[in-house]
Amino acid sequence: MLRNRVKELRARYGFTQSDLGKRVDVTRQTIAFIEKGEFSPSITLALKLASTLETKVDDLFWLEGEEHNEK
């Protein structure tokens, strides 16, 4: 399962799910699905999210069970 820090970084930037969705051109629901781990985004969307949240893709997403260094 793909884990992520989207919710954490979104909160750090003060974005709502709608704000972030608009910035990466998806609906609020899709951001919610990603945050819940219900849906794994495409590489394109992962890159857009990482760019918007000013981080690297592998810092934003990682596989469950793999080591992830919190920053």
For residue 23, report the phi and psi dihedrals to the nearest 5 degrees. -65, -30
- Binding segment toward other proteins, per CB under 8 A, in 32-40, 49-57, 61-69: 32-40
Residue 32 or 55: the one with the smaller Cβ distance to other proteins is 32
Choose, by CB under 8 A, the member of 4, 5, 6, 17 that binds other proteins: 17
Exposed, middle or buried by CB within 10 Å (0-12, 13-18, 19+), for 65?
exposed
User: Which is nearer to other proteins, 24 or 69 (by Cβ)?
Assistant: 24
Q: How far is the CB of 26 from other proteins (least distance, A)?
A: 4
Contact of 59 with 48, CB cutoff 8 Å = no
